[in-house]
Structure 1
């Protein structure tokens, strides 16, 4: 391994663009945030070192022996997170990046690509939640953030046009077109930056743009070592060593690297990434990652040790996972379909590890088709749902999940296989910090679950066992939340003391119900007493009140909210006790 003559960023970006630089299959995927990218560019502008890179030269005679991927060019948080497999037909020698992928991808995205991340206030499946952004540099002033000297920002096209006396947003990628210093001068003149009446800003713009030109075109910043070994084992060991510092590879990254190198019949990287994408689209959507899939592989392959340790990533284990891959993926897929049919999704599952015992059980009983809808499995599904909801509410997977996964796997193996061993699991963990047993106090505490919290739908699934949550049910305020303002309550003649109670309690479980989407839309902001009288017939009123835990023979107007809430909470507590105690 020899140190090479450093390169300019412009040369490296050209090599990435022409696909001379590629990524070996053992590399993990791009994970840097926009903040990390802007910090990298700020460091370059301040002449901070960004460490050496490690490249691997693969001759054209040996290219076909390995799998390689292209650099990510336009990152999209939902749709484009995976690297495309490189087409190496008739390829010349290539350079594979062993260390420095995150930095090089960041440079490419900043100079030639784009970055689309989700807006925090929009749903993950909303196409408009991921506006495309490119990197810009403000030429009229430094950053307000004390950690930065230069103001780099990822902006949409519309945002980049918001120039004013303190901002001129320069598209960083345009510096690639300004090849000569004369081109830089022309840009400054054409945009009236050199003649700015504020001389301080004019000087800043001049220094900043020329500095960017120097960083990209002139200074050989990319220092690197070159490895030329033909032995994959040696390259893999080098890769692991160099990635043990800095942003350390997680054990799941190592496992994926080993699987990719050692699977003989499948491409582990493509199989796992595409499977993660597939199962995240089930139902209303999930949020699992490769760590979850790889942990499930260890559990479902019946390895004695299921922890993420390098010793578990040997070739025989990897080949066993490869051989069982189809059964493993069907078990996970069927488990997630089942959980989705219970009404759960990324919005209300606090730990994805809860899905693994269900997948193991389905694999243990032979992976029956249509388990989530078959009439023959109704009783079994009830037991699984009871375990799942209890485990969610008790947070049994909130720490050291292996301490739950292994015992449950052992119990399932010892079970006769007729139905999910709910009682055996409950008895095993009784009296421990993983207990699934509820006390009266536990159930009273559930009454403090609020609208919008993950536990609320879990509780609703217990209270409404008849509701098919695959359909579009909404968690609805019985007394509409729009009525709970101080001004509106005063108009209704509610006392000041009671108003405080109303405002503190309207959002809790006692004022919530499950309602199908169309009736909920129709109900809107109608007073609850008027809506129920106008909508529910006299013949079905008693049945409706029973199904929704509505006290009978009391005034249902908002002026009687305190009595309504008190009596309804008693009914809900009674139901939860019957199910959980």
Structure 2
């Protein structure tokens, strides 16, 4: 009974932090297997007597490592709505459990990168047991007590389907051209806006050119082809037309055309210079801002560009 109460109390504590989470009992049971260096398959036989005893004996440290990780998620502005893979957080808990520290800004930056790659590339969504075993093995050969949490810990990890934690230009292009506003764009924006205190203020994903400007009625006045209209209506929700904006400011901006909003003294990050902000020139704005964001992501992930 005590073990069950410990699990329920720990989950209740974790899920109530920040803007709330949805850590499940299955998640915590699998996490305990990961931390105990046991088989990660969530099956009865995985919980042999030795593993159960290890969990009982070290429950305090196991649960502290988990709660520490959750508090770190809160500090970098994440909550249930922005986590597409809870399993991706388990290697972070393992790092903490093995004596690692993640309180520095440098460590938090690397955790953002790790989670953004894990979720954007869906590394823990397919063959999750393989992903958990492989990342744990990388951490087992790493001195967590003496070294910081860095993305490069997982450079040698290759998962089922030849998937890796390395980011290539093709990955960035895929994110920019396919991920519409939601959890994936949020965590990528968090990389692009590293100085924002996401845990202290409510930041919204704002459309640079307002979402409503692309609705059928207003956009029809531009005389665009039906194909272009549909293309722009898709592009409005992609990263090159998104920014972080404090909640109250976003509500104030609302339907204001981008040109007017900038003319009122506001600005946006990655604003291309010398480019028209009229809606009729959206394609040029989108293309040029995409280049700026792409360049910054290439810098963040330290991708070496090979020129012929």
When normalised by structure 1's length, the TM-score is 0.48
Q: 1:410 to 1:347 in 2, by over 3 A?
A: same
Report if aligned partners of 1:480, 1:527 keep a CA contact under 8 Å in 2: yes
- Are 2:288 and 1:567 equivalent residues in the alignment? yes
Return the offset for 1:361: 0.6
Cα pair 1:354 1:391 within 8 Å, conserved: yes
Give matches, 1:42-441, under 5 Å.
Answer: 260=1, 267-303=2-38, 305-365=39-99, 371-372=102-103, 377-417=104-144, 418-429=147-158, 433-441=162-170
The separation in 1 between residues aligned to 2:179 and 2:117, in whole angstroms, is 18
For these two proteins, the number of residue pairs brought into alignment is 298
What residue is the counterpart of 2:250 in the other structure? 520
Does the Cα contact within 8 Å between 1:415 and 1:421 map onto a contact in 2?
no
After superposition, what is the alpha-carbon deviation per residue over 1:280-301, rounded to whole angstroms, capped at 9, x for unaligned? 1221221111111111111212
Q: Distance in 1 between matches of 2:152 and 2:213?
A: 45
* Cα shift at 1:386: 1.6
Instruction: Find the residue that maps to 1:535 and give its secondary structure.
Output: coil
Q: CA deviation at 1:321?
A: 0.9
Highest CA radius of gyration, 1 or 2? 1
Contact 1:287 1:346 survives alignment (8 Å): yes
Matching residue of 1:53:
none
Residue equivalent to 1:215: none
- Normalised to the residue count of structure 2, the TM-score between the two structures is 0.88
Q: How far 1:346 sits from its partner (Å)?
A: 1.5
Mapped to 1, the partners of 2:62 and 2:21 lie a distance apart of 18
Distance verdict in 2 for CA 1:385–1:500, change over 3 Å: closer
1:276, distance to aligned residue in structure 2 (A): 1.4
Q: Deviations over 1:457-480 (max 9, x none)?
A: 122122212222212100001111
Match of 1:445 in 2: 174
Q: Give distance in 2, aligned partners of 1:430 and 1:308.
A: 19
Structure 1 runs not aligned, ≥5 long: 1-259, 261-266, 537-543
Runs (4+) of structure 1 exceeding 4 A deviation are none
The 1:432–1:489 alpha-carbon spacing in structure 2 relative to 1, beyond 3 Å, is closer
- Asked if 2 retains the 8 angstrom alpha-carbon contact of 1:464 and 1:514, the reply is yes
Q: Structure 1 residues 523, 301: CA separation in 2 closer, same or farther (over 3 Å shift)? A: same
Q: Distance in 1 between matches of 2:5 and 2:126?
A: 30
Q: 1:348–1:455: 8 Å Cα contact kept in structure 2?
A: yes
* Structure 2 residue runs without a partner (length 5+): 304-308
* Structure 1 residue 313: Cα displacement: 2.4
**1:474 aligns to what SS in structure 2?**
strand
Whether the aligned pair in 2 keeps the contact of 1:449 and 1:508 (CA below 8 Å) is: yes
Q: Which residue of 2 aligns with 1:171?
A: none
Q: Is the 8 A contact 1:430 1:437 kept in 2?
A: no
Q: CA deviation at 1:430?
A: 8.2
Shift of 1:439: 2.8
More helix by share: 2
Q: Hey, what's the Cα distance between the residues in 2 that align with 1:574 and 1:554? A: 18
Superposed CA RMSD:
2.2
1:429 & 1:322 partners in 2: Cα distance?
A: 33
Structure 1 counterpart SS, 2:80? coil
